[in-house]
Structure 1
Amino acid sequence: MKNPASEVLSVLILQFFLVFGEARQQFVTCGSVIKLLNTDYKVRLHSHDVKYGTGSGQQSVTATELQEDINSHWLLKEAVGKVCLRGDPIACDSTIRHHVKTKMNLHSHLFSSPLSGNQEISAYGDAKGEGDSGDNWTVICTGDAWRRDDSVMLKHVDTQVYLGVSGRTFGRPINGQMEVVGLKSSTGAVHWQSMEGVYLHAPDIQHDSHIHTEL
């Protein structure tokens, strides 16, 4: 004869793990590879092996309307000198780096951007993907951690500008892509949301990862 109390306990335990599993998949996590959408202009953060002709001469960072471009993938990893465990939710006010497909990090410094004259955003690093403190960005969000459905701001640690989009567009060889810049004010086009990608979760790492949507 089945024990009613035991059956109730089993149901409660199952419900707990289902709710817990859904809850942990609400967050953006360390080690995930994602695309970032600027919610003001509806363009995705992008980079490619095209260097700026002015300013630093480093690899350019732009924003594109294309959803499926593989050069818009960014790996979320720990900041220089910090620890960020794979699969852990990224806490609000924590410092991270964004590592692009070309092995470069999202970077800024005191150069002027080529179109609007705001602060230049580039991709920087050596062959192993290591750069310097100019690669570090603070996640500005509400609550305890970065949630997938919420927009966040990314503030550059060294220079205190916000990652944003100027609204200007480039000509050849990156025709139609928008200029990504560092903005001094948080009232501009500085809001970003996680989109398509592969999201890691701590219990999943030994088995598989949770795919948000198509890459």
Structure 2
Amino acid sequence: MTQYDAVVAAGGAGRRLGGADKPALTVGGRPLLDRVLTACAGARRVLVVGPRRPTGHPGVHWLREDPPGGGPLAAVAAALPQVSAPLVLLLAADLPFLDAATVARLVARVGDADGALLVDAEGRDQPLAAAYRTAALRTALAALPAPAGRPLRALTAGLRLVRVPDPAGASFDCDTPEELAAARRRAAGER
């Protein structure tokens, strides 16, 4: 299997969750961040961009985006210089159902493209549940003005991407209290 690093964006303000520290919220008795870190355990290097938090995963490298809270594109800009593998996973820290099998599927599907990303049940691309060629991201990032506050789509719009269906809901994220409650119900049902 192709070697990859992982970048986990964990610096959001959790505004829609009342300012909660979203990566620290629990689903199935485990913090969201730990669930994502478990899914990317096969990465050579794991870079978490956001405030340092306790985690059950040793060896995580912590970085901060500039400015702090500057969004996912700023997180990518902070982490990409530290990536050395040919592929890089870009992951949100609030994906409670991401698993190692989905990560492996994304990595395998990149092929000759610039990346592979999950597409949710509604047909929406999930650029923070994806694997990309490191060189393609670096080229795209170099062509952009300051990344803070810009959408991640500004980085990925020109890339040749393989869209990977997500029937198991691995790209389900927890942005609202309702989504968090739904994730907790689903996790309880899967036990």
TM-score range relative to shorter protein = under 0.3
Per residue, is there more helix in 1 or in 2?
Answer: 2
